[in-house]
Structures are given as C-alpha cells and as structure tokens.
Structure 1
Amino acid sequence: MEENQANIVVFPFMAQGHIIPFLALALHLESKLRRLPNLTITFLNTPLNIAKLRSSLPPSAALRLVELPFCPSDHGLPPDAENTDALPYPLVARLLHASTSLRGPFRDLLLGLVAGGRKPLCVIADIFFGWTATVCRELGVFHAVFSGASGFGLACYYSLWVNLPHRKKPDSVEFSLPDFQEGSPVHVSQLPLTILEADGTDPWSLFQAPNLSAWADSNGILFNTMAEFDGVGLSYFRRKLGVEVWAVGPVLLSSKCRRSTTPSSPEQCIAWLDEKPPKSVLYVSFGSMNTITAPHMMELATALESSGRDFIWVVRPPVGQDINAKFDSGAWLPEGFKRRTAGRGLLVERWAPQAEILAHGAVGAFLTHCGWNSVLEALSNGVPLLGWPMAAEQFFNARLLEGDGVGACLEVARGRSGEVRADALREKIETVMGETERGRGMRRRAREAREVIQTAMRDDDAATRGSSVRALDEFIGAAMSRRAESRNGLKIPNGHASIPGEHISTTA
C-alpha cells in the first residue's frame, strides 16, 4: 500500500500567521501533486484550530484535518487558548512551551500511519516545532522545516538567538552577528523585545535553545520566498546547518479560500476602493498580532489626516489594551478625526480583506509591519511598502526590502518604543506615494519584484519553469528518493497499530 500512497503531513504552530501560510502550502501541494495516486495532505493542529478550519474550508478531496489532543488549562492557559490570537502577548511564550506536549501525540500519529501502510512521504513542520525533526529522524521519516519568513530575516533572527551578541556588549548600540556578517551590524532598536530581554534563562531562551538546535535533525528547510532576491539568507542556513534549502514562494492563499477562512466579506472595502483614482490609496495594517501604542496611534492619525491621501486603516486597540476588544475611536484617535477624514479615510476594525485590497488598482502603497506574508501579498501586486516593523524577524525583512536587492520599501518607524512624529510620517508617506525620485524608483522596483515573483512561479512549460517551481519539484524528488531508499520501513513497536479515529476528520 505504501508504494501507492503519497501522504504529506503538515504541522503549523498555533497562530494565524503560521496556520495561513501552512494552509496555502498544503493547498499548493495538493494542486501540484494531484496527479499522484492516493494523494493525502494531512493537516495537523489542536482541536479548536481544526474545528475552525473544518467549518470554513471549501471541500477538498485530498486535505485531511487531524486533531492532536491539547488541553490549554493543563499548562496554565485559558480554556480556549489554542491560538496566539486568543492570548495577550506575555502568554505567547507559555503557549510555545505548552506546544511541546504535542510531541507524544505526534509521534503516536506517525507510528500509526506507518503501521497502517501509510508512511508519510514527508513531514513539513513549523519553525517552532524543531522537536518534530528529531522525532522524524528517529522514525525514518523525511522532514522539512517550513518558514513563512524571508531567508534573510530568519537568518538574522536565528543568529541572534543562537549567539545573543548584545549580551556580550551590553553598552553598545550596534553589534555584529558572529556567524552572519552579511546581516551585520544590528542596531539595538532592531532587536525584538523577546531577544532584547533574553539572558539565556528566560522563558523564550529556554524554549528557543532546544528548538533551534533541533533544526539540524531536519532534512532541509522550505522557505516561502524567492531565490532571486533572498539568496544571502538561504545560503546562511545551508552553511550553518549543512542541510538543503528550497525557496518555493510565494505560496499564498487564493482569494476564494481566504474569504472562507476570515470573519467578514470584502465587499465594503472593494466598493469604497472602486470610487478612488488609480494608485491613490494608502493601505495601513499591522497584521493579526500587532498593534501600536496610543501615542503612536495619535501621531499616525495626524499624519494620515495632514497628508491629504486617501487611506484604509485596519485599527485595533493600542498596546496595553485587549487587542481583540472593540476599537474606541473617541479615546484613541484625535478628536473629530473620523468626521474630518470622512470620504477619504476608511477605518476597518480588526480585519480587512488584505489580498483583495492589495490587488486593487486604487492602492498605491502599503504601510505594514513587514510580516513576510503581507510583504509577499504586496509585492505580488507590485505595491511599494512603508515599513514599520514590530517584532520577530520583521526588522530584518525591512532591511532586506530597503536594500539594493529589492528596493521597494522605506522604513518609517521601528518597534513600539521610541519617538514617532506625525510630520516625519507624513513626509515619508509623500516620498513613497508622491512624484519624488525615490517614490518613482520604489514603484518601479515593486513592479520589478512582481515580475520576479511571476517568473519564479511560472509552471506552464518544463523548459521555462520558474525557480520556485523547480525548487518544489526538487524537494518532492528528495522526499521520494529517501522513501525509496528506506522502503522496508520501520519496525513498529507494539500498541501502535492505528490512529485513534476520534482525532481524525476529513473535509468533504
């Protein structure tokens, strides 16, 4: 049975910013490999996340949604805390540590698959699930880490965690990455708060040390990026870990699938954009987990008003408030702001149909936290960026995007601390959207990035396949070669003959 079974297991961390790219990858693999007999994409997560997907995804012949048992209250978390979207930021580290409890159920699931003659062709797991690589190496299953971040951004992030160089030079504002000179120097303002406060004994350090070291047990890393302008970061991981690296991006959810997994429809925003001139609207969004401080929110609102530009702004309560609470424009925006900007400004609470907005011809620029999925959606539509990185590798994504390799971004602010002034924000908005030399150059470079993306994903002819298409073919080929080498498989311990049926659900 195994020879005729193509079962790919995908396993994201419990956060929308991770689940969405993994879902896009799963559906991309399904489309790419549909010619294979008995293809199954097994999508793993905890019960609440699976239930949400099950209720919203369109039918799929190959995608199986599989629950792994998880009880948040066993780990000091609220009962419904199976996704970072349901947590205040200080509890994210606790969810990370709690996620390691999935190791046993994950191992049992793999053993059950092997025992049932359905040994996975490969497992593709999250950057926060390094332990899955160790389990797969033990069981002889081909494994890849999948990163939704850029190669360069993740290289800087990885090197910072491995080396904590700022701890060695506590009085410096700039320092080098000893194993990644291409990412140096790093300014202290580019450090995510978790790294800035890390001392090796804090919760984040205690999680990341074993997590990152386990990546060396993997067979390679898949990146949702393009080799054409992210080669430096990709080379770091080849050199550092001695594993293969495949740039297979951009892998993005289709508009149809995104609408089915999000809480509202795009009609209001699109109808509003339809009334606007081409390239006239600034879209502002900081992703699903980020917000800015109340003073920064006031400065940004003042800048948007004084710029005279049309804008869509996805608003959430500021830092220190419940990010999922109702937005109080009277408390957190300048008095009369909504009235004065009526008609040229659209405030959207919590969520907007980002892919559709960025694809609309009226959008001229995107003020973003530089999360990589957002970046890819913008560049796929040739939209230049104003960068306001907030956390994780976003600071280094911004550097990559500002650099000569891409050149389609202007950083306007950095992080949640430090001074942000409305007049400086307004000036940078005008630089990007106005008829300035830099603005024209950024718009041209954004269009060039779109062409690079289209070429990388070209799959209409074997002779002209794009780099990302070839990379995905090479990854699947490597997994198939490894399975052929180990076809005799694994001797299964007693007691692992099947997967508990109550934990399996297939979309249909």
Structure 2
Amino acid sequence: MDNINENFEILKKTQENEVAIVMVPFPAQGHLNQLLQLACLISSSYDLPVYYVGSATHNRQARVRANALNPSDIAKIHFHDIPTPEFASPPPDYNALRKFPSQLQPSWDASMLLRESIDSFLRDISSKARRVVVVHDTLMSYNVQDVLSLHNAESYIFNCISVFTLYCLMSLSVGISLQLDEELLKKLPSFEGIITDQLKNLGASQIPYMDIRSGDIHNSSKVIEGAFLDLLAQVASKQEKKQWAIGPILPTKLDCVANRNNMCLDWLDKQPSRSVLYVSFGTTTSFSDREIKELAMGLEQSKQRFLWVLRDADRGDVFTGEDRKIELPEGFEERVEEIGLVVREWAPQPEILAHSSTGGFMSHCGWNSCIESITMGVPIAAWPMHSDQASNSFLVTEVLRIGLIVREWEKREELVSASSIENGVRKLMASEEGDAIRKRAEELGEVVRCSTENGGSSQIELDSFIAHITR
C-alpha cells in the first residue's frame, strides 16, 4: 500500500512540474557521487522531480556514501533500481604496477546491458510529463540512445572530468594541436597508458550515440577553467551543443551536515589551524604492502600532522567480499599517536577538507577530489594513478599552481621512497613555498565558493540550464 501511495505522489509531483529529470550515472564511485550531488542540487533548489536510475547495488552505494549531502535532500530523490545481470566482483590486485582498477571492468560491462530497461522507464515517465530531461554520464550514451524516439525527451551529457582534460582529449582525438603555453606543453604528461584497452573500447562504443545529446554540463566553474571552456567551445564548435559550467555542485556550506559526529572531525577539532595533511587516494587505488610501508615511513619522518584514510580499492559490488586487512609497520600507529590518525573506513572527505585544521591534501587527483579540494581552498600534493588523474594533477600544479607533485606520472611504475614522500610533505606543509601555494589555494577557494552564490558565474550557469530545460 505504501508503494502505491508513494508512486501516486511521485506521479502527481511530475505532472505538477511538467518536467521530469532522469539521472543515469556510470557505476563507479566518482561518477555515482557527482550525479547524486547534481540530483540533490536540482531537486532542492528548483523543486523539480529527479529520478536516479541504476542497478540496485550501485544506487545503494551512492546513497550510503553520500558525503556532504543533507539526508532530507537525498530523501527527495526517486531512486529507480534496474535489474542488472550478475557480474563478477573480484578483489583489486594490490601488487599490480599499473594502478588502473581493472577489477571493476565486469561491473562496467554489465552496465552496458541496461538499454532496454532504461528505455522502458523513460517511456513510462514520458507518458506522464510534458518533458523528460535525461542527464547521463558520457559512458552511458549507448544506454540512453532511445531518447531519440521519444517526442518529449532530450538528453545532456554530464562530464565527470575536468574541462582541461576533456579539451586535451578532444583536441588529440581530432588532431588539433593544444593551445597551451610552450613551457606548459613541454611539461604536459602523456595520455598513453592512462586506461586499459577494455575501457578504451567501451568508450569508443559510446561515440556513435553521443551526438544525440542537446548539450554538455561540466562540474567546473568559469573561475577555475574559463580559458579551457573557451578552448573547448572552439574544438566542439561544429557540434553546436550548448555548454554549462555549473560546478562545484557539492554543497559549499557544510555546517549542518549529519556527518558532524565523526571520529575524523572530532580528531581534527583538537588540531591547530591548517596543520593537518589529509591523505587519501580515492576508491580505485590499491597499494602494495611495500608501498604502504614507504608511505607510512615518509609520513612519520616528515613529523607533520596527518589524517590517513587507508582503504583498499573498490570491488564492482562494494557490498560483497572480505576487505583486505592492510598491515602497517609494527608500532607505527603507537609512535604517531600524538600527531597522526589512521582511518580504515569511509571518511567524510568534503567535511575534512572544509575543516579549519586541514592544511593540505595528498591525493590521486581524481576530479571529485580535485574539485572538493579547490572549493575548500586546500592545496594538493599530487600523486596521480590512472585515467584523468595525470592531467588533473597538471592542471592543479602547473596551471592553477595550487599544488605540487609527489610522484611524476612518467615514473608511475616505480616505487616512491619514504624520503621522497617526506620531502613532498615537508615542502607542502612546512616551507615558504608551501605557504605560498596554500595562500593561492585559499584565494581560489574563496572565488570558487562565491561563484556558486547568487550573481556568481556558476549560479548564473545553473539557472540558465534550468531555464533551458523547463522552457
């Protein structure tokens, strides 16, 4: 009975608003997270009905890990679970020299079988709303292709990567030389080896269906990447697609978030201002025992305060399988007890970065982590692992100049020594150069946060997108 009432209320709200928005994320944490943030932003700010469509396990993953989002906003999102074929969910290979998360490939392959179910759902919504607006990940273009057959539906790609990375990839794919300063061009990391052949093939299979879209949305801001938005518009001019830079889409005021009762935040409350290095490598990085030992020694030898989130990379289904027990050097946690905290569970990253005690972030430079760090004004010690992370780290360190490199992308298969880690940590957290980087990061963070307020560039872009889809 409850389900019938709930469905009636959803239908009633859809009809009242006339426009229904359907989010179709790619099943990887950084993608699930950004589309859920966007869903909550649109639902709470514009009171439009928003549907979040994916497999039951990935919808659950998005909800459970919803950092920085208000539970009451998540409660307004209509999650629609689509039956997904069973897929293998192997553990990550933590000894692999290449850090690409190949263990996720079976779950990505399974997600390519959702076209019919998504089409059926869209047809149902289409019959009840004046317009259906599908916002989807680039890598889900194949699955939403039937938007074309619906008279009142249109689709938009939401790009989960930086505009800089997208500009570089698009330029290279069409054979256009990059419009970068000559000195920057010399330092630009190679795009060779950033992904596996399997993911490259999956990406290529989406290309025939990408032109269906009516425009592109970016989780970035003109104040961060204005120059690259202009360059991207030049490269994509023949496509005649509208562009909106509406980021950062994460909440920028985190005072009222439910995560306040958290051991990380409690510990940070006791530390001096800007004194703590936050260390986290996201959900797709696994370190070998030797790499963890070097990292632990480097942090200890730096004698700087740190909060280290020590977790293995995700499986395709994060709710199955035993987590690996990652061993630290004997006595390490006891020796660093006064200055360090090691956390082995999910951590509230945006809130940690927003905390006044956090003064730096050692990161793999996934775009989620970059945009969160930039927004909160925290400088980055960059250690890229795969995919877009090398170009993001270049953007952060060479273009925006709000970070430094811990490990060069070209040396990605080499062991990073404790002394290299120690030096990088000291430079960021306890040197004049680090202070200058931090000052630039704090100034940029302030400008970025202002861009999301009334009259700011990102808020204007978001209002423009909403006005366009509700026209």
Partner of 1:276, secondary structure, is coil
Residues 376-455 of structure 1: pairs in structure 2 closer than 5 A? 376-404=371-399, 406-414=400-408, 416-436=412-432, 438-455=433-450
Map of 1:64 onto structure 2: 78
Residues 198-347 of structure 1: pairs in structure 2 closer than 5 A? 198=197, 203-238=198-233, 239-240=235-236, 241-252=239-250, 266-317=261-312, 325-329=323-327, 333-347=328-342
Map of 2:138 onto structure 1: 127
Structure 2 CA distance, aligned partners of 1:10 and 1:360? 31
Residues 359-414 of structure 1 deviation map (CA, whole Å, 9 limit, x = unaligned): 2211111101111221222222211110111111111111111124x211111114
Structure 2 CA distance, aligned partners of 1:79 and 1:317? 12
- Cα distance, 1:279–1:51 mapped onto 2, change above 3 Å: closer
Asked if structure 2 preserves the Cα contact closer than 8 Å seen for 1:287 and 1:371, the reply is yes
Structure 2 CA distance, aligned partners of 1:16 and 1:236? 29
Structure 1 CA distance, aligned partners of 2:257 and 2:25? 17
- Residue 326 of structure 1: how far off its partner (Å): 3.8
- Cα distance, 1:319–1:215 mapped onto 2, change above 3 Å: closer
- Residue 429 of structure 1: how far off its partner (Å): 1.4
Which of 461, 469, 473 is equivalent to 2:459?
A: 469
Asked if structure 1 preserves the Cα contact closer than 8 Å seen for 2:189 and 2:394, the reply is no
Whether 2:53 is the aligned partner of 1:44: answer yes
Asked if structure 2 preserves the Cα contact closer than 8 Å seen for 1:7 and 1:120, the reply is yes
Map of 2:111 onto structure 1: 99
Which of 156, 167, 174 is equivalent to 2:168?
A: 156
Structure 2 CA distance, aligned partners of 1:289 and 1:50? 18
Which residue identity is paired with 2:77? L
Matched-pair identity in %: 29
- Residue 43 of structure 1: how far off its partner (Å): 1.1
Gaps of 5+ in 2: 1-13, 92-99
Gaps of 5+ in 1: 81-87, 164-176, 460-464, 482-508
- Residue 350 of structure 1: how far off its partner (Å): 3.8
- Residue 133 of structure 1: how far off its partner (Å): 5.4
- Cα distance, 1:328–1:297 mapped onto 2, change above 3 Å: closer
Where do 4+ consecutive residues of structure 1 move more than 4 Å?
Answer: 1-4, 51-57, 59-62, 157-160, 183-190, 253-260, 317-320
Residues 7-51 of structure 1 deviation map (CA, whole Å, 9 limit, x = unaligned): 1111111122211111111110012212xxxx3111111122335
Asked if structure 2 preserves the Cα contact closer than 8 Å seen for 1:125 and 1:132, the reply is no
Which residue identity is paired with 1:467? S
- Residue 184 of structure 1: how far off its partner (Å): 4.6
- Residue 205 of structure 1: how far off its partner (Å): 2.9
Which residue identity is paired with 2:402? A
Q: CA RMSD in A?
A: 3.2
Asked if structure 1 preserves the Cα contact closer than 8 Å seen for 2:406 and 2:421, the reply is yes
Structure 1 CA distance, aligned partners of 2:462 and 2:112? 29
Structure 1 length-normalised TM: 0.77
Residues 153-181 of structure 1 deviation map (CA, whole Å, 9 limit, x = unaligned): 23334556x47xxxxxxxxxxxxx64544
Whether 2:3 is the aligned partner of 1:11: answer no
Map of 1:167 onto structure 2: none
Structure 2 CA distance, aligned partners of 1:180 and 1:98? 35
Asked if structure 1 preserves the Cα contact closer than 8 Å seen for 2:126 and 2:132, the reply is no
Which residue identity is paired with 2:407? A
Structure 2 CA distance, aligned partners of 1:158 and 1:292? 31
Structure 2 CA distance, aligned partners of 1:327 and 1:30? 39
Structure 2 CA distance, aligned partners of 1:155 and 1:366? 26
Asked if structure 1 preserves the Cα contact closer than 8 Å seen for 2:219 and 2:249, the reply is yes
Partner of 1:373, secondary structure, is helix
Structure 1 CA distance, aligned partners of 2:359 and 2:51? 39
- Residue 187 of structure 1: how far off its partner (Å): 6.2
Q: Which stretch shows the higher mean deviation, 307-316 or 141-150? A: 141-150
Which residue identity is paired with 1:418? E
Asked if structure 2 preserves the Cα contact closer than 8 Å seen for 1:458 and 1:469, the reply is yes
Structure 1 CA distance, aligned partners of 2:262 and 2:163? 35
Which residue identity is paired with 1:393? D
Asked if structure 2 preserves the Cα contact closer than 8 Å seen for 1:227 and 1:467, the reply is yes
Map of 2:362 onto structure 1: 367
Asked if structure 2 preserves the Cα contact closer than 8 Å seen for 1:294 and 1:318, the reply is no
Residues 257-315 of structure 1 deviation map (CA, whole Å, 9 limit, x = unaligned): 9757xxxx752222222221111111100012213333332222111111110111111
Map of 2:8 onto structure 1: none
- Residue 119 of structure 1: how far off its partner (Å): 4.5
Asked if structure 1 preserves the Cα contact closer than 8 Å seen for 2:52 and 2:78, the reply is yes
Asked if structure 1 preserves the Cα contact closer than 8 Å seen for 2:135 and 2:158, the reply is yes
- Cα distance, 1:179–1:258 mapped onto 2, change above 3 Å: farther
- Residue 244 of structure 1: how far off its partner (Å): 1.7
Which of 450, 468, 471 is equivalent to 1:478?
A: 468
- Residue 104 of structure 1: how far off its partner (Å): 1.1
Aligned residues: 432
Which residue identity is paired with 1:431? K
Residues 466-508 of structure 1 deviation map (CA, whole Å, 9 limit, x = unaligned): 1111111221222234xxxxxxxxxxxxxxxxxxxxxxxxxxx
Asked if structure 1 preserves the Cα contact closer than 8 Å seen for 2:71 and 2:258, the reply is no
- Cα distance, 1:283–1:148 mapped onto 2, change above 3 Å: same
